[in-house]
């Protein structure tokens, strides 16, 4: 492929601009990473920017060292895997029929889905439903009340709609069943979109903590985010809590700032790893021809 | 109509209270002495627990993020067993996540499956559920089983939880009288040949010198005279020099008025605005969050600030680690033109233990709290003797490793802390006398200005307080940075009154008329 | 097999079959598709629509303890309170302004980024850039806020130091009413643009490469390919996201504003979410909070409905 001179310049500029922007996006992360490896003294004196000062692994040993870390990590991992699987399967099953013009009532269903995005009953009515369904204090409270996201249904439906109708028709003529077409043609062709919502849901599950506050009191079911928030709260100085003085007064002088940083790294890195695995679905286009055969 | 409703609910409460009394009467068989309302020995602490009826209760506390050692949890550890054994109660604890605790309480209240006791730190929450008639009065149970509580919690604190003669909560006390006192770098004073300041003018001179005369001797203009933090934090001692504290209710001619609207506040603002105008305060003070604030102190940009009493373990310590020459000393509170001194004093109450109306065991809740607050408090605060701490030469020596391992016990102690307990001092000293924690607290206690309104938040506060606080912060900040002239203060007062301040003042004075 | 054949046959003879039979045929041919929708529909009914009675508390003086049946009805009182508040119009204006700025400047951002990324040929470079630009999404506003305060500091911040090289006086970005909204919008774009681009990358990945090959044969340059192939292929997703975005036009992101604003910029920075936080959530006023939420939702729904109709007129799919 030959590029014109203008296109070459544009291409070089594009490389440079994106590179610069990526560095700008990376910098705060490096800053947090450096903090997590620095001493409390160095951080609170403002000495740490992009490189650790007084290198130490102490905050990691505090964050990762407790039995509760492992347990809560397991819970988070399980809910992310199981929850995301449920999300993606249910989303696809709901989105496919309403992408098809021959399914009756689909626009009513779509409207109901969009409507539910804007009007909600709020915290307490939802809590009461979760209670009535017997999900309180079970692992399922993490999975079922958030089983489908309206936003993602709409997105996936849109991608399903853009699969050329001729492909499905020819498959039908070849004797494919409705579900067969969904699983053998539509889903493989929509992998970039499915990878996207997989990522959205996985990140959502991994980061969520409020459903624990509302639905779960059993500490054995607390996920990583709750563990880390409690760890930080415990070490927080008492500036904005009313309890007279904070728990921190009692511990030996803890490295709050570096613990916060280490907690962020420990909780973010596992979920960041998901992206490169899904990335192969984004980087190059899908050959329609390859599916047809 | 409202009155009618009130009568009915009072009647209901009376019936409830009667029922509970009956149940404690009938259930125990041979429990006669404890059930008798006039029992003199009940709950005094020297009674053998076995004589009290065995009951099961469910209790919600806030654990503040503390961890349990491996293999233990909130219902399976020696400290909860210690309470169970000494009260003959079967206690089940529930500890919602510390972050989001109040939300968890609201869903617990809505669930219809209520525990026997709930801890909250939020006065508005408490007030709102009293208003909704969701909580039961504890007067009777307290009289019967709460002798230690009645002794350890001061009269003024009980006032705060008493509504129409009914006690709706058992409060946990604040351990400290207030937060802020002035600290200065003595090495800077010495370097510049200055004496520790006392009056506002002397303070001003020190700030000027710290700003302009290169106190750290590095030949660079890299220091400030003073530093404050966002939302007008860390300026209490200067306001106190005018005899008041921002936002607190204070008596003038037999009536309570809000100190933020007094002429003294205007004078205080004029003083601080003058400092800002002369460039003596860190010009970015209104953006300083806790982290930036500490950073500027630790890195030697500031040598004078209003410290929290435990900052000697925080930024002041870091500053010393960074610069071995740094020597910090506490100062006398600045004295104003009328010879006054002052700093923000805390209210008495740190939290409320409430009993929902659905509970049949208010007596058992009081028994538990009475033990935790009285006889058991020392152990819950310090840990088991000879395991976590021991007495050597009349002083408490703490084994810090054990202390941290047993840290979860403090959830229990903190939930029902008595007022001014001796053990608190011993504990603070055991953290290191070099931090002068008790000394700092004593200095604060000497001049702390307390809010004279002790009631629960009024309806008017619920409606307007947040707006009024915002209005105040906005005006005061603009006046200090010179965006508005000091005369704008009068505008602020007029607007404050109009936007609900007058309503609140009336409500507060209605309370004051009954309770002074 | 025969069922499907029959279905095919009926599709061809639509006009002659009577409607009832038609519906029956339709269900018979696609019964499996109707069936797989059921779990999803059931989910929405149980977890979204059953709790929706909760919105009635906007018209009550709701007490958690009394519950929905015994709470006092107050009609439109909370709405009247909201509109009667002197500050409400300032707050509404600020919300709308910040939201519109975020929409105008922020919405195209991820689209442009996705297209730019798509033009990178070097695979490793492309993948690394992609991974890096979405990192800021994982930082909380509290952390970003702390960094911003340092970076934008008039005395020591790098931004003002760079501006100083060009002889520009230090700017008080966060305490200046002129700059505050700009900082809010710009930092939001920086933080979310990489994350937002993912969905467009997915759309681009779905484009048939044969289209580009054909365009190249026709002699179309890069620029023309973007205009005539890439953008049109993304249009469906762009329209849907824009519609959904309009539904949340009054949500500007509480955490960001809350972390970054201060008493000198209340006049330009106070938004509905900070207002609700102050008036409602801090004091557990469920009814008031719900009323404000309802107000926001109604405005959102009206906008989405209008835009949906507009999109259909312009030949796009629309949401429903």
C65 in contact with B, Cβ within 8 Å:
yes
Q: How far apart are the first and last CA of chain A?
A: 29
Q: What was the pLDDT predicted at C20?
A: 76
Overall average pLDDT of the C143-155 stretch: 89
Chain C's closest residue to A189, CA to CA, is C206
Residue B376 and residue B481 share a domain: no
Identify the bridge partners of residue B344 per DSSP, sorted by sequence position. B449
The pair phi, psi for residue B302, each rounded to 5°, is: -135, 140
Residue A169 and residue A84 share a domain: yes
Percent of chain A whose predicted confidence (pLDDT) is above 90: 54
> How far is the alpha carbon of C2 from chain B, nearest alpha carbon, in Å?
54
A4 contacts in chain C (CB < 8 Å): 221
The chains found to touch A (3+ Cβ pairs under 8 angstroms) are B, C
Q: Which residues contact B161 (CB under 8 A, 6 or more apart)?
A: B126, B167, B168, B169, B170, B171, B349, B352, B456
Which conformational region is residue B417 in: left (phi greater than 0), alpha (psi within -120 to 50 degrees), or beta? Answer: beta
Residue A74 and residue A172 share a domain: yes
CA angle C297–C303–C307, rounded 5-degree value? 145
**Shortest CB distance from B291 goes to which of C63, C146, C264?**
C146
Secondary structure in 3-state letters for B487-507: CHHHHHHHHHHHHHHHHHHHH
Closest CA to B477 of B467, B488, B464, B466: B488
> Do C153 and B284 make contact, defined as CB atoms within 8 angstroms?
yes
Identify the bridge partners of residue B56 per DSSP, sorted by sequence position. B90
The token pair at A72 is 């809560």
Size of interface A-C (CB pairs under 8 A): 252
The chains found to touch C (3+ Cβ pairs under 8 angstroms) are A, B
> Do B467 and C87 make contact, defined as CB atoms within 8 angstroms?
yes
A61-110 pLDDT, tens digit per residue, is 888 877 888 999 999 999 999 999 999 999 999 999 999 989 999 999 99
Overall average pLDDT of the C227-240 stretch: 93
Q: Cα separation of B36 and B144, whole Å?
A: 8
> Which segment of A19-33, A158-172, B175-189, C128-142 scores lowest on mean pLDDT?
A158-172
Q: Cα separation of C78 and B213, whole Å?
A: 58
Q: Which residues contact B479 (CB under 8 A, 6 or more apart)?
A: B269, B273, B485, B486, B488, B489
Chain C's closest residue to B221, CA to CA, is C155
Q: Cα separation of B448 and B441, whole Å?
A: 10
Chain C's closest residue to A107, CA to CA, is C320
Helix (H) or strand (E) holding A265: helix A256-272
The token pair at C104 is 């105008």
Residue with tokens 């992998």: A191
CA angle B291–B297–B298, rounded 5-degree value? 85
Q: What was the pLDDT predicted at A121?
A: 82
Chain C's closest residue to B466, CA to CA, is C278
Residue B170 and residue B124 share a domain: yes
Q: What was the pLDDT predicted at C204?
A: 92
- Is residue A239 helix, strand or coil? helix
> Do B107 and A124 make contact, defined as CB atoms within 8 angstroms?
yes
The token pair at B375 is 């006889």
Q: Cα separation of B139 and B145, whole Å?
A: 10
> Do B97 and A232 make contact, defined as CB atoms within 8 angstroms?
no
Residue B112 and residue B212 share a domain: no
Domain limits for position A76: 60-292
Q: Cα separation of B170 and B355, whole Å?
A: 9
Overall average pLDDT of the C110-139 stretch: 93
Report the CATH number that the domain containing residue A203 is assigned in CATH. Answer: 1.10.3720.10
Among A12, A32, A56, the domain boundary falls at: A56
Residues B108 and B118 sit within 8 Å (Cβ to Cβ) = yes
Residues B148 and B370 sit within 8 Å (Cβ to Cβ) = yes
> How far is the alpha carbon of C84 from chain A, nearest alpha carbon, in Å?
24
Q: Cα separation of B179 and C268, whole Å?
A: 33
Q: Cα separation of B208 and C248, whole Å?
A: 51
Q: What was the pLDDT predicted at A254?
A: 54
Chain A's closest residue to B173, CA to CA, is A244
Residue A94 and residue A31 share a domain: no
In terms of Cβ atoms closer than 10 Å to its own Cβ (0-12, 13-18, 19+), residue B454 is buried
The token pair at B315 is 């930024």
**B437 domain-assigned:** no
Residue B361 and residue B322 share a domain: no
Report the CATH number that the domain containing residue B469 is assigned in CATH. Answer: 3.40.190.10
Q: Domain C76-313, what fold?
A: MetI-like fold (1.10.3720)
Residue B328 and residue B365 share a domain: no
Residue A160 and residue A120 share a domain: yes
Domains of chain C, by residue range, sit at 2-52, 76-313
C77-99 pLDDT, tens digit per residue, is 999 988 988 889 999 999 999 99
Q: Cα separation of C282 and A62, whole Å?
A: 33
C66 contacts in chain B (CB < 8 Å): 132
Residue B108 and residue B29 share a domain: yes
**B34 domain-assigned:** yes
Q: Which residues contact C5 (CB under 8 A, 6 or more apart)?
A: none
- Would you tell me the crossing angle of helices B263-277 and B488-496 to the nearest 10 degrees? 140
A130-167 pLDDT, tens digit per residue, is 999 999 999 999 999 999 999 999 999 999 998 888 88
Q: How confident is the model at residue A283 (pLDDT cuts 50, 70, 90)?
A: low
C266 in contact with B, Cβ within 8 Å:
yes
> Do A234 and B431 make contact, defined as CB atoms within 8 angstroms?
no
Q: Is the pLDDT of residue A233 over 90?
A: no
Cα distances from C158 to residues B15, C152, C170, in angstroms, run 69, 7, 11
Q: Domain total for chain B?
A: 2
Q: How confident is the model at residue C17 (pLDDT cuts 50, 70, 90)?
A: low
Among A9, A41, A56, the domain boundary falls at: A56
ipTM, two decimals: 0.90
B414 in contact with A, Cβ within 8 Å:
yes
**Shortest CB distance from A243 goes to which of B96, B322, B414?**
B414
Among B373, B408, B429, the domain boundary falls at: B429
Overall average pLDDT of the A110-122 stretch: 91
**B443 domain-assigned:** no
Q: Which residues contact B101 (CB under 8 A, 6 or more apart)?
A: A213, B62
Q: Cα separation of B52 and B380, whole Å?
A: 22
Quote the radius of gyration of chain B (alpha carbons, Å). Answer: 26
Residue A124 and residue A251 share a domain: yes
> How far is the alpha carbon of B490 from chain A, nearest alpha carbon, in Å?
30
> How far is the alpha carbon of C36 from chain B, nearest alpha carbon, in Å?
34
Closest CA to A194 of A282, A117, A76, A100: A282
- Is residue B63 helix, strand or coil? coil
Mean pLDDT computed over every residue of chain C: 88
Residues A115 and A201 sit within 8 Å (Cβ to Cβ) = no
Q: What was the pLDDT predicted at B128?
A: 85
In terms of Cβ atoms closer than 10 Å to its own Cβ (0-12, 13-18, 19+), residue A152 is buried
**Shortest CB distance from A111 goes to which of C116, C203, C320?**
C320
Chain B's closest residue to C171, CA to CA, is B284
Domain limits for position B126: 2-176+349-429
Instruction: Report CA torsion sign: B441, B446, B452, B454.
Output: positive
Q: Is the pLDDT of residue C41 over 80?
A: yes
Q: Cα separation of B469 and C145, whole Å?
A: 23
Q: Domain total for chain A?
A: 2
The pair phi, psi for residue B120, each rounded to 5°, is: -140, 150
C143 in contact with B, Cβ within 8 Å:
no
Residue B318 and residue B362 share a domain: no
**B440 domain-assigned:** no
**Shortest CB distance from A230 goes to which of B99, B310, B317?**
B99
> Do A119 and C297 make contact, defined as CB atoms within 8 angstroms?
yes
Q: Cα separation of A253 and A261, whole Å?
A: 17
Residues C102 and C252 sit within 8 Å (Cβ to Cβ) = yes
Residue B172 and residue B184 share a domain: no
Quote the radius of gyration of chain C (alpha carbons, Å). Answer: 26
Neighbours of B262 (CB within 10 A): 17
Of residues B222 and A244, more confidently modeled:
B222
Output DSSP code: residue B57: E
Residue A146 and residue A45 share a domain: no
**B438 domain-assigned:** no
The token pair at C138 is 């994982």
Q: What was the pLDDT predicted at B141?
A: 96
The token pair at B334 is 């600045």
Closest CA to C153 of B271, B233, B295: B295
Torsion over CA of B106, B108, B113 and B119, rounded to 10 degrees? -100
B128 in contact with C, Cβ within 8 Å:
yes
Residue A235 and residue A98 share a domain: yes
C140 in contact with B, Cβ within 8 Å:
no
Q: What was the pLDDT predicted at C143?
A: 87
Residue with tokens 């015994």: C70
Closest CA to C133 of A33, A29, A14, A281: A29
B310 contacts in chain A (CB < 8 Å): 237-238, 245, 249
A247 contacts in chain B (CB < 8 Å): 64-66, 407, 410
Q: Cα separation of B59 and B120, whole Å?
A: 12
Overall average pLDDT of the C255-267 stretch: 91
pLDDT digit string (tens) for chain B, length 516 residues: 444 444 444 444 444 444 333 333 333 333 333 333 333 333 444 444 557 889 999 999 998 888 888 889 999 999 999 999 999 999 999 999 988 898 899 889 888 889 999 999 888 889 888 988 899 999 999 999 999 999 999 998 998 899 889 999 999 998 888 989 999 999 999 999 999 999 999 999 999 999 999 999 999 999 999 999 999 999 999 999 999 999 999 999 999 999 999 999 999 999 999 999 999 999 999 999 888 898 899 999 999 999 999 889 888 988 998 999 999 999 999 999 999 999 999 888 989 999 999 999 999 999 999 999 999 999 998 899 999 888 888 777 888 788 888 989 989 988 999 988 888 888 788 777 888 989 999 999 999 999 999 988 888 998 888 889 999 999 999 999 999 999 999 999 999 999 999 999 999 999 999 887
Residues A18 and C116 sit within 8 Å (Cβ to Cβ) = yes
Residues B175 and A245 sit within 8 Å (Cβ to Cβ) = yes
Longest dimension (CA), chain A: 75
């Amino acid at each position: 492929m030959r590029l014109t001179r203008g296109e070459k310049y544009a291409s070089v500029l594009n490389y440079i601009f994106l590179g610069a922007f990526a560095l700008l996006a990376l910098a705060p992360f490096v800053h947090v990473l450096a903090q997590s490896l620095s001493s409390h003294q160095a951080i609170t004196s403002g000495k740490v920017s992009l490189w650790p000062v007084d290198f130490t692994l102490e905050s990691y040993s505090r964050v990762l060292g407790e039995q509760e870390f492992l347990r809560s990590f397991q819970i988070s991992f399980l809910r992310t895997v199981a929850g995301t699987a449920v999300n993606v399967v249910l989303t696809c099953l709901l989105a496919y029929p309403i992408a098809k013009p021959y399914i009756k009532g689909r626009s009513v269903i779509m409207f109901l889905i969009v409507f539910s995005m804007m009007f909600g009953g709020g915290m307490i009515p939802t809590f009461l439903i979760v209670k009535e369904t017997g999900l309180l204090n079970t692992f399922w409270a993490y999975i079922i009340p958030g089983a489908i996201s309206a936003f993602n249904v709409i997105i996936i439906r849109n991608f399903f709609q853009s699969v050329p109708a001729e492909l499905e028709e020819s498959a039908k003529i070849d004797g494919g069943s409705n579900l067969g077409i969904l699983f053998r043609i539509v889903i493989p062709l929509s992998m970039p979109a499915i990878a996207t919502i997989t990522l959205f849901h996985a990140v959502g599950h991994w980061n969520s903590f409020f459903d624990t506050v509302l639905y779960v009191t059993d500490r054995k079911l607390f996920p990583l985010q709750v563990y880390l928030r409690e760890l930080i709260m415990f070490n927080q100085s008492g500036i904005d809590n009313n309890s007279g003085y904070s728990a921190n007064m009692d511990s030996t002088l803890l490295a709050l700032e570096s613990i916060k940083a280490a907690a962020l790294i420990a909780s973010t890195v596992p979920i960041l790893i998901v992206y490169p695995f899904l990335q192969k679905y984004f980087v190059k286009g899908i050959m329609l021809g390859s599916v047809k055969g | 109509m409202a009155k009618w409703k009130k009568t009915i609910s009072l009647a209901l409460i009376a019936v409830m209270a009667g029922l509970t009394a009956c149940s404690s009467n009938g259930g125990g068989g041979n429990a006669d002495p404890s059930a008798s309302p006039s029992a003199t020995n009940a709950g005094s602490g020297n009674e053998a627990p076995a004589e009290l009826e065995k009951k099961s209760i469910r209790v919600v506390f806030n654990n503040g993020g503390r961890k349990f050692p491996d293999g233990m949890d909130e219902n399976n550890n020696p400290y909860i067993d210690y309470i169970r054994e000494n009260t003959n109660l079967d206690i089940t604890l529930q500890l919602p996540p510390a972050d989001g605790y109040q939300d968890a309480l609201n869903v617990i209240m809505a669930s219809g499956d209520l525990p026997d006791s709930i801890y909250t730190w939020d006065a508005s929450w408490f007030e709102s559920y009293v208003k909704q008639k969701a909580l039961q009065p504890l007067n009777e149970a307290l009289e019967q089983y709460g002798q230690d509580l009645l002794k350890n919690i001061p009269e003024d604190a009980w006032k705060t939880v008493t509504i129409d003669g009914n006690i709706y909560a058992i409060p946990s006390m604040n351990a400290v009288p207030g937060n802020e006192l002035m600290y200065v770098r003595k090495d800077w004073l010495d370097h510049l040949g200055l004496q520790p300041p006392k009056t506002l003018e002397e303070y001003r001179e020190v700030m000027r010198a710290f700003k302009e005369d290169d106190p750290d001797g590095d030949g660079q203009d890299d220091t400030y005279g003073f530093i404050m933090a966002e939302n007008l934090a860390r300026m209490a001692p200067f306001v106190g020099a005018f005899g008041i504290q921002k936002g607190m209710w204070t008596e003038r001619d037999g009536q309570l008025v809000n100190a933020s609207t007094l002429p003294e506040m205007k004078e205080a603002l004029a003083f601080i605005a003058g400092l800002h105008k002369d460039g003596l305060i860190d010009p970015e003070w209104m953006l300083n969050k806790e982290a930036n604030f500490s950073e500027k102190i630790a890195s030697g940009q500031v040598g004078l600030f209003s410290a929290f009493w435990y900052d000697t373990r925080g930024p002041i310590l870091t500053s010393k680690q960074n610069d071995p020459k740094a020597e910090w000393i506490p100062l006398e509170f600045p004295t104003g033109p009328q010879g006054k001194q002052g700093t923000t004093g805390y209210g008495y109450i740190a939290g409320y233990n409430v009993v929902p109306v659905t509970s049949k065991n208010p007596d058992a809740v009081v028994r538990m709290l009475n033990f935790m607050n009285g006889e058991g408090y020392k152990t819950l605060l310090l840990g088991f003797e000879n395991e976590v701490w021991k007495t050597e030469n009349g002083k408490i020596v703490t084994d810090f490793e054990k202390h941290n391992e047993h840290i979860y016990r403090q959830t229990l102690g903190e939930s029902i802390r008595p007022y001014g307990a001796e053990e608190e001092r011993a504990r603070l000293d055991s953290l290191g006398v070099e931090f002068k924690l008790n000394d700092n607290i004593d200095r604060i206690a000497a001049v702390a200005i307390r809010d004279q309104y002790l009631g629960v938040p009024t309806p008017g506060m619920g409606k307007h307080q947040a707006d009024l606080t915002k209005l105040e912060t906005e005006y005061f900040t603009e006046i200090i940075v010179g965006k508005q002239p000091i005369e704008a203060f009068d505008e602020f007062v007029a607007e404050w009154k109009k936007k609900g301040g007058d309503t609140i003042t009336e409500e507060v004075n209605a309370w004051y008329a009954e309770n002074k | 097999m025969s069922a499907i054949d029959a279905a095919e046959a009926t599709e061809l003879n639509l006009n002659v079959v009577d409607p009832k039979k038609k519906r029956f045929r339709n269900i018979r041919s696609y019964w499996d598709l109707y069936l797989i929708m059921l779990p999803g529909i059931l989910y929405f009914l149980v977890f979204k629509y059953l709790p929706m009675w909760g919105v009635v508390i906007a018209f009550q003086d709701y007490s958690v303890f009394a519950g929905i049946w015994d709470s006092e009805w107050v009609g439109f009182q909370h709405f009247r309170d909201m509109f009667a508040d002197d500050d409400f119009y300032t707050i509404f204006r600020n919300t709308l302004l910040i939201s519109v700025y975020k929409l105008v400047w922020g919405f195209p951002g991820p689209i442009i980024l996705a297209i730019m990324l798509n033009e990178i040929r070097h695979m490793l470079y492309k993948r690394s850039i992609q991974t890096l630009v979405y990192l800021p999404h994982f930082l909380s506003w509290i952390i970003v806020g702390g960094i911003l305060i340092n970076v934008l500091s008039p005395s020591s911040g790098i931004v003002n130091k760079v501006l100083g090289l060009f002889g520009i006086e230090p700017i008080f970005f966060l305490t200046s009413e002129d700059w505050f909204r700009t900082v809010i919008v710009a930092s939001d774009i920086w933080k979310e643009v990489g994350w937002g681009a993912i969905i467009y990358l997915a759309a681009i990945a779905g484009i048939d490469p044969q289209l580009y090959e054909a365009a190249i044969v026709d002699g179309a340059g890069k620029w023309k390919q973007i205009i005539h192939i890439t953008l049109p292929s993304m249009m469906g997703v762009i329209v849907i996201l824009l519609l959904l975005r309009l539904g949340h036009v009054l949500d500007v992101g509480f955490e960001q504003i809350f972390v970054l604003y201060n008493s000198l910029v209340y006049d330009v920075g106070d938004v509905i979410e900070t207002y609700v936080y102050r008036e409602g959530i801090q004091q557990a006023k469920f009814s008031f909070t719900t009323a404000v939420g309802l107000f926001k939702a109604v405005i959102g729904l009206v906008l989405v409905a209008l835009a949906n109709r507009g999109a259909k007129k312009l030949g796009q799919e629309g949401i429903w």
